[in-house]
Amino acid sequence: MTTPGKSGTAPRRRRRTRRIVISLVVLIGLLVAADFGAAAVFEYQVSKRAREQFHLTDDPSVKVNGFSFLAQAISGEYDHVSIDAKGVPVQDTLRDLEVHVDLMGVIAPLGDLVSGTLQGVRVREVEGQVRVKASDVTRAILQNENPLVSSITNLTIDPVSEQDARSDPDERTDEEQAAAERAEELEDDDDTQAGARICATGDIGGEETDFCAFGLITLVDAKANFVPSRLELRNSVLGSGQLPPQFEAGILQMLKVTLDPGELPFTVTPTAVNVEPGVLSVKGKAFDVVLGGSGA
């Protein structure tokens, strides 16, 4: 037997639950859409000001990090905003720089953002980085004319320890190798020098030769200086042997370059150099800066 008045209760309860679930899904969807929309408006405002400050022809990419843009917008402060610009030219040699900026503690009141009256965007801390790619390093090296080398192609950049940049690991004694390993453990990514290996194919004396130069990238007067200390041949008419001393000294001198990436964004003072696969970079920090407006 069924209890009178009970037969329709369960279906009605299921329909009511389903309506509530659907309503929540729609509400969440609207909130997510509003969050993305508001974030897009903010990113456009920051991108426009960054374009003016970097003197770019195109708007850079801007991303607001962290969960829920609206929650940050209500407070008027954004934890982490990143800006990326590519293909930034500096003088004739460096034509394809990449600029990456991390803004921490970005202050932009929601009312000014919505009304469109937002002027200067205040930032508590800025970390800026300018990255020089292999194509620009090749152009810089070719400016150092050397009658022994008529061309350089296929240039690559890789990080090595400062110890390996100074001396060949295969030629060290056990004690020297142990000392090198201890020194490597103390190396810091945020330092004014870093080890680098630059390899390329060059026409040396009419023979196509693969070689690698090892040396230090050093930050001097906001510029990155590469000074090679040793050269390795990978294939040539000499096999994997050595060039005559005067040839090797000339090539090492040719590979000695100074890269001037220009001023870092937002008057950031360069404090460190870094080496990544395919890239040499200069970076630094600044505090309490203004993006756009009268304080720019």
Residue 46 lies inside a defined structural domain of this protein: yes
Residue 124 lies inside a defined structural domain of this protein: yes
In what order do the strands lie in the sheet containing 77-90? 61-64, 77-90, 94-107, 121-133, 279-291, 269-276
Using pLDDT thresholds of 50, 70 and 90, give the confidence band for residue 227: very high
Position 197 scores a pLDDT of 94
**Domain hosting residue 39, numbered range:** 33-132+284-291
- pLDDT (tens digit per residue) in 57-109: 777 888 888 766 677 777 778 888 888 888 777 776 777 888 888 989 888 77
Q: Same domain for 205 and 246?
A: yes
- Which residue, 220, 216, 215, is CA-closest to 231? 215
Question: What's the pTM?
Answer: 0.72
Residue 13 lies inside a defined structural domain of this protein: no
Q: Same domain for 164 and 123?
A: no
Q: Same domain for 118 and 202?
A: no
Position 204 scores a pLDDT of 76
Residue 42 lies inside a defined structural domain of this protein: yes
Structural domain count of the chain = 2
Position 202 scores a pLDDT of 83
According to the per-residue pLDDT averaged within each range, which of 165-169, 203-207, 251-255 is highest? 251-255
Position 38 scores a pLDDT of 57
What does the alpha-carbon distance between residue 150 and residue 204 come to, in Å, rounded to a whole number?
A: 7
Examine the pLDDT at 284 and tell me if it is beyond 80.
Answer: yes
| 276 bridge partner residues | 279
Residue 125 lies inside a defined structural domain of this protein: yes
Residue 25 lies inside a defined structural domain of this protein: no
